[in-house]
Structure 1
Amino acid sequence: MKRNVVIATVAAAALIAGGTATAVAIGSEDGTAAASSSSPAQGQQAEGVASYENAQGQGGDNDGDDAREAKAASVTAQQAAAAALKAVPGTVTEADLDDDESGVAWDVNVLGKDGKWHDITVGADKAEVRSQHVDQDDDGDEGKDRVRSVLNDASVDIAQAAGKAAAHGTVVSVELDGPDHGKKLAWEAETVTKDGAEHHVTVDPGSGAVSNAPSDDDNDGDDD
């Protein structure tokens, strides 16, 4: 009798709140029953909170992604570039370590000898090409025209630039870019040290001169 009263009370409260109720009788040690209920709105709210907390734990903080990917990779930027060039002869303009559907891999861009831009995915555990396709977008993009021009006069390729940057940690990305360098493009590399600190290194494609930007993890007053 008490169980029926409790269930009816819970159901009525849920209906007043604007939803339907699911009541479940739960036995207690003395043989009496307690009731548990939830409405669709309450369920959706709980799912939303759980999803947010899950996102915070799994993807809400990207600061450690580069360090995690660097630890997971046994293939270097130089090896990834070499593997890509075996698939598509030409010049590598970018190599970026990232997660894809098949796990951690290198995303490599190649300006092929055919004059086309190729996107190639190379495994980070084994230097094998996982996928490749021709980039059909922005064939006349001004930025790509600048890259072509610089590559024609460059004496330092991406493998050499990555080798210079590797003195500052594990290279997780390197590309020929230049928004922060006026009209002149340069090899811009990002590295991660064993303690997770990120560093940015710039290599001149003509002279090979290296310049360093402050670490992302540098603190005020740190003399390192």
Structure 2
Amino acid sequence: MKKYIISALAVGIIAGGGYTFVNADIQDEENQAELAKQAQITEQEATKIALEKVPGTVNEVELENEDGLIVYEFEIVGEDGSEQDLDVDAKTGEIVKVEADDDENDDFSQADLAKQAKITKDEASENALEQVPGTVTEVELDDENGLVVYDVEINAKDGTQQSVKVDAKTGKIVNVELETDDDNKV
């Protein structure tokens, strides 16, 4: 009898875990659908605009809300092999961000961004952890539409991975985003 109870309990736990992953995917799809309703240009139109600016191959595209601005975020491998991140405004079709994604430029841009920061990485991490309790896994300075932010990656206590953007000048939370692993979807 004990074996049946333990087996039933194990099946319940496994099924519950599966539900969590399926539920996260459903929520992400619902979020994408809601953002798509607000977009005035299609993903195909945005892709054409992005590839005119950075010719190459699109590795990934996501519709995101960046501080109230709905954008298509692109990861593009350029014809020269370099990786580029590019954001296209989903309402106007305007390119709002183009960023090289190579390690050599990261060091230079990190130094430039660090000069503009008024708070430390530790202070940004503390502020982020007040919003999303958990363990900080990475902190990086970034330029978000002209605003210098710390991108604080957190393994949250609820088991999710979240990205918290902290204004590098004021320390205020700018954005909290649930990280999803779309690359592993079947």
TM-score by length of 1: 0.33
Give the structure with higher Rg (CA).
Answer: 1
Relative to total residues, which structure has the larger strand share, 1 or 2? Answer: 2
Relative to total residues, which structure has the larger helix share, 1 or 2? Answer: 2
TM-score by length of 2: 0.39
